Structure 1
Amino acid sequence: MCWCRNPETKRPYPKKACPKFKKPGHAKWYARFDVPTADGKRRQVRIGPFRTRAEAQETLRHEISRISYGGVPSAHKITVESHFNDWLARQRPRLAVSTFADYERVIRNIVQPTLGQVKLVRLTTHHLRCLYAALGADGIESNSSVALMAERLAPSKTGPDAPKRKGTWKYPLSAKRIRKVHSIISSGLTHACKTGLIAHNPAWNAGLPKMVEEPALVWTEPRVTHWRETGRKPATVMVWTPEQCGQFLDYLQETRDRHYALFQLAMTRGPRCNELTNLLWRDLDLSKPGIITIRGTKTPRSYRTFHLGQGNVAALRRWYRVQEQERWEAGLQWTHSGHVFTNPRGEPVTRNALWHRFTRLTAAADVPPIRLHDLRHCAASLGLTAGTDLKVISETLGHRHHSFTADTYTNVMPKSDREAADAVFDIIPRRAA
């Protein structure tokens, strides 16, 4: 209730009878406190409204403690939405275009609808745990907070059988995707801690789902037979055998596919898809023995230089002549982008276009399906089969640590393991049959 009085009776209004009761902030508790200033003049900050006196006192103690450790006095007015929008704008110059687009999608479609109106200083670990539970929940759970989060996520939700729309995800999200969302939120909140907006990062110990790494499998004959009978892949990440790689490249060469050089380079040397689409002619040296420089941004080791191999040099030279012919035919409509892999108008080929084309080509070549990114796994497995040192493969692929390469690819075509298996039988004495 408030302390307003009836002008006629001079008595306080009964509970909720005041005509001003429905106004925002009326009959609420506020708190004031002094904040330090550079000029020494007194400055007071008001925080509120609060429903009870105890809530106002608790928040007041929290604000005084936060400011005493160097916090910003006006941080209690900042919402999660305004902070993340400001943080995202500051991150744009240092992020790659695709990375920034991913950050923007997460903030616009996940963070803003669910947590956007929450005051930044009042954001807790419980908020984030409920959000991650809603992202990973197959249905609405009994927890009211999780159900509310799921309801706010509805506009960005795509049904399991419906085609995916731009800016949406098919829920429930995988554990890997939820961890990606968490990393973006945690980065934004870490910046808030460093700038004094909040005293601690609520993203710590947010209860992330356990992520099980699915190993890559090789398309052996039994697995290919099972796929042809059922139409189901044994695993998400699949790798072609050398024979299947040759079958696919032979089909591209026979049909004179315009992206033969691209797919062969991806299959044999393993650059990432974005690294291929952003590759420039100035980063290639097609004289013997052939050198390529990858200006990657994923990790510090993704910026690397390695040899192409004579097969890739010959394919890229042929593609250069084809591109020059297309440039001459396009005339003034040609886009001088300087990119290696382009469409007939000179525009850089997009990842989505490559994905659709690769899917059609694998079906036409009658080879089992793999993802476009799995060509990178093929490059690693072919290198292992050829006896290339694991450290060389790791440096060519641009991995951060050599141990990651060993943990990921030693189960794919393990030549040393096969030799070890045969060696065991060689040392077992047996009676002659």
Structure 2
Amino acid sequence: MNGSVYKRCSCPSNGGQGARRVACRKDHGTWYYVLDLGPGPGADGTWRRRRQSKKGGFRTKKEAEVALAQAAASKADGTLAYDQSLTVGRYLETWLEQKVAAGLKPTTARSYRQHIDDYLVPLFGHRRLRDLGPGEVEVALSGLVQDGGKRGRPVSPSTVQRIRATLRSALASAKRKRLVATNAAQDLELPAARRPRVSPWEPDELGAFLEVAAQDSLGALFEVIAFTGLRRGEALGLRWADIDVKSRRLVVRRQVVGLPSPEPCPFCGAVHKGRQFGSPKTEGREGGVIELATRTLEALEAHGLVQDLDRAEWGTAYSDHDLVFARPNGEPLAPDAVTKAFTALAEKAGLRPVRLHDLRHGAASLMLADGVDIAVVSKVLGHSSIAITVDTYAHLLPGVGRDAAERAASRVRRPVRDHSVTTRPNMRSLKASTYGETAGQEVGPVGIEPTTRGLKVRCSAD
């Protein structure tokens, strides 16, 4: 075992490391151990020729030696954490930088950054990474529901679960690098997060909205979202090259997201303030094919004619990105501006307030109400799992569950039976006195007739 123990106190030493201190009382100071770990990645991820694990605060030399032996055993089985004095805050910064460099989606990076700055660093940033325990994490995250975080507002259980997921991902990476022995964000008991029940517009309400929206320049955009279930960003990233009019389908290839510091545009090379092209939200969504209804194609064709007028009016100043839905000068639309326009049109139509994303929910509910298989609905929406589709949309519109029950019952074929029977085994020995007749008389034909309280047994004596 390449390690040793030594004593540290304020007394002057009369020798090298571990030597007896001059005039040092036996119970004075604390004991430490140091274990040689050999070459490997350091706390910052860079390779080091020599690494050491140190820990102190032991009351006696014996306690330090026992801890050293345990650390050596952990080193041998690969569970020893090496992080020295690395804090949670410094590690999270390094972790996020490495994730971004590895190709993390900008929207995900923005979410991680908010969780780190607003919650994780204020709660745990000062703590040494290797000392962070699951009990401490569980108590702190649960407290966010009542006390709130940096912004001073209570946090919903679903947001707490997302914050926990960020920390869990970061600590999983730390565990793989042997910076910690266990993942302190794993297997926590946090307030349950319930999936909110969505309440999109009913078909009549949707029709009233689209009638008003048809007079707006973005009317075709809302029509497409309402009948294809595209996400807002996916609709804004749609290009004419992605639409095949002949086969009546479109292909999802990208989305437009709102970012404060966007990257240069892949089509024109310019930086569009607050807007950036990116890949679709879920894996497997890119290249997804969606069939188009006739009225949706007609709305797109009419919208294309208006866009041609804008292109002609702007002339050489038109920034052609081949976008289906764009600004009058051809540049991508800002996602937040589209949401504001939707809200204004809904108010103009006098409808109950819903989110723009509820148009997507409405598309799913319409398909389900029309009997479309839920696996097909899940594929159209681009969900990562069919379980998400089932949990969210299965019973959105009134009658969907009832129709399913009727269809299931209609598949079971049974012979028609005459309920006026005379040979039921359990009825043959019934006494007529039960029905007001003479005791001991056998019961004759039995029938069932409806009453105000249900079914009434009707018998007649032979």
TM-score range, shorter chain: 0.7 to 0.9
The alpha carbon displacement at 1:356 in A equals 1.6
Residues 201-212 of structure 1 mapped to structure 2, 5 A cutoff: 201-212=183-194
Paired with 1:103 and 1:205, the residues of 2 have a C-alpha distance of 20
Paired with 2:144 and 2:71, the residues of 1 have a C-alpha distance of 32
The alpha carbon displacement at 1:360 in A equals 1.2
Matching residue within 148, 151, 160 for 1:157:
151
Unaligned runs of 5+ residues in structure 1 are 15-26, 140-149, 159-170, 216-236
The alpha carbon displacement at 1:408 in A equals 2.4
Unaligned runs of 5+ residues in structure 2 are 1-7, 13-20, 41-48, 255-278, 410-415, 417-447, 452-462
Which sits farther off after the overlay, 183-192 or 339-348? Answer: 339-348
Q: 1:117 aligns to what?
A: 126
Cα–Cα, structure 1 residues 326 and 49, in superposed 2: closer, same or farther, change >3 Å? farther
The CA RMSD measured in Å over matched residues stands at: 3.5
Does residue 1:238 correspond to 2:240, yes or no?
no
Paired with 1:412 and 1:327, the residues of 2 have a C-alpha distance of 41
Paired with 1:404 and 1:352, the residues of 2 have a C-alpha distance of 26
Cα–Cα, structure 1 residues 34 and 309, in superposed 2: closer, same or farther, change >3 Å? same
Paired with 2:292 and 2:59, the residues of 1 have a C-alpha distance of 70
Q: 2:103 aligns to what?
A: 94
Paired with 1:422 and 1:46, the residues of 2 have a C-alpha distance of 68
Q: Do the aligned residues in 1 keep the contact of 2:210 with 2:219 (CA within 8 Å)?
A: yes
**Whose helix proportion is higher, 1 or 2?**
1
TM-score norm. by structure 1 comes to 0.72
Tell which has more relative contact order, 1 or 2 (C-alpha 8 A, sep 6+).
1
SS in 1 for 2:33: strand
Which sits farther off after the overlay, 398-407 or 199-208? Answer: 398-407
Paired with 1:60 and 1:348, the residues of 2 have a C-alpha distance of 61
Which sits farther off after the overlay, 65-74 or 109-118? Answer: 65-74
Q: 1:262 aligns to what?
A: 221
Which AA in structure 2 matches 1:194?
R
Paired with 1:70 and 1:104, the residues of 2 have a C-alpha distance of 31
Which AA in structure 2 matches 1:32?
V
SS in 2 for 1:306: strand
Matching residue within 110, 116, 128 for 1:107:
116
Q: 2:445 aligns to what?
A: none
Q: Do the aligned residues in 2 keep the contact of 1:384 with 1:415 (CA within 8 Å)?
A: no
Paired with 1:298 and 1:62, the residues of 2 have a C-alpha distance of 46
Identity of aligned residues (%): 29
SS in 1 for 2:365: helix
The count of aligned residue pairs is 362
Paired with 2:70 and 2:302, the residues of 1 have a C-alpha distance of 68
Does residue 1:134 correspond to 2:143, yes or no?
yes
Alignment deviations for residues 206-238 of structure 1 (CA, whole Å, 9 cap, x no partner): 2221122333xxxxxxxxxxxxxxxxxxxxx32
Larger radius of gyration: 2
Paired with 2:81 and 2:361, the residues of 1 have a C-alpha distance of 52
Q: 1:181 aligns to what?
A: 163
Q: 1:252 aligns to what?
A: 213
Which AA in structure 2 matches 1:272?
R
TM-score norm. by structure 2 comes to 0.68
Which AA in structure 2 matches 1:363?
E
Paired with 2:97 and 2:449, the residues of 1 have a C-alpha distance of 71
Q: Do the aligned residues in 2 keep the contact of 1:290 with 1:313 (CA within 8 Å)?
A: no
Q: 2:379 aligns to what?
A: 395
Paired with 1:59 and 1:376, the residues of 2 have a C-alpha distance of 58
**Whose strand proportion is higher, 1 or 2?**
2
Which sits farther off after the overlay, 104-113 or 56-65? Answer: 56-65
Residues 393-432 of structure 1 mapped to structure 2, 5 A cutoff: 393-419=377-403
SS in 1 for 2:34: strand
